[in-house]
Amino acid sequence: MAEISVTDQEVEDWQHQIEDIVGWFDQLQAVDVSGVEPAAIADGKEQGSLRPDVPRAYENRDAIMESVPNKERSYVKVPKIM
């Protein structure tokens, strides 16, 4: 699991939100699904269209890279691994 920095205020706010979500799952779990085929994907019946293999450079690449908090040359800089 990720180590995520949160403030005490965030912990307090999110605790309720997460409890709500968990509660919602409890409601879902209560549904009787016996005899229903497991669906691989929610949208199972729909065949999505495939994308043609044509390269297209993303026009806002510079903006994306600018939003990276730490960089070195054009690399993304992350904490040392292992």
Partner 1 sequence: MLLVGRGALPFPCCLLISLRDLGLQRHITYCRAAIHPLSGRAARRAPAGRNTTTAAAVAAPEQSKHQTKQNKGGQQAAKTAWEAIVGIECHIQLNTRTKAFCSCSNQFGGQPNAHVCPVCLAHPGALPVLNQETVHKGMLASLALNCSIAHTSKFDRKQYFYPDLPKGYQISQYDIPLGSSGSLELMFKDGTKRQVSIERAHLEEDAGKLVHGGSDQLSGSTHSLVDYNRAGVPLLEVVSGPDLRSGREAAAYAAELHRIMSLVGVIDVHAQDAVMRCDVNVSVRKKGEEQLRTRVEVKNMNSLSAIQKAVEYEMERQVELIESGRESEIVQETRLFDEDKGHTFSMRKKEGLADYRYFPEPDLPLLQIEENIISEVKDSLPEMPSAARQRLLQLKLPIADVLTLTDDMETATYLSAVLAAGAPPKQAANWVMGDLLGYCKEHKAHIGDLDLTPQLLAEMITLIESGTISGKIGKQILPDLIKGKVSPGSLEKWVKTEGLAQISDEATIAAMIDEVLASKPQELEQYRGGKTKLQGFFVGLVMKESQGRVNPAIMNKILMQRLQATKS
Residues that bind partner 1 (CB under 8 A): 1-6, 11, 14, 18, 21-22, 25, 29, 40-44, 46-48, 50-58, 61, 64-65, 67-70, 72-82
Q: Is the Cβ–Cβ distance between 43 and 51 less than 8 Å?
A: no
Least distance CB 35 / partner 1 (angstroms): 19
Quote the tokens at residue 80.
Answer: 């040392």
Residue from 60, 57, 77, 59 nearest 68 by CA: 77
End-to-end CA distance of the chain: 16
Least distance CB 16 / partner 1 (angstroms): 13
Least distance CB 61 / partner 1 (angstroms): 6
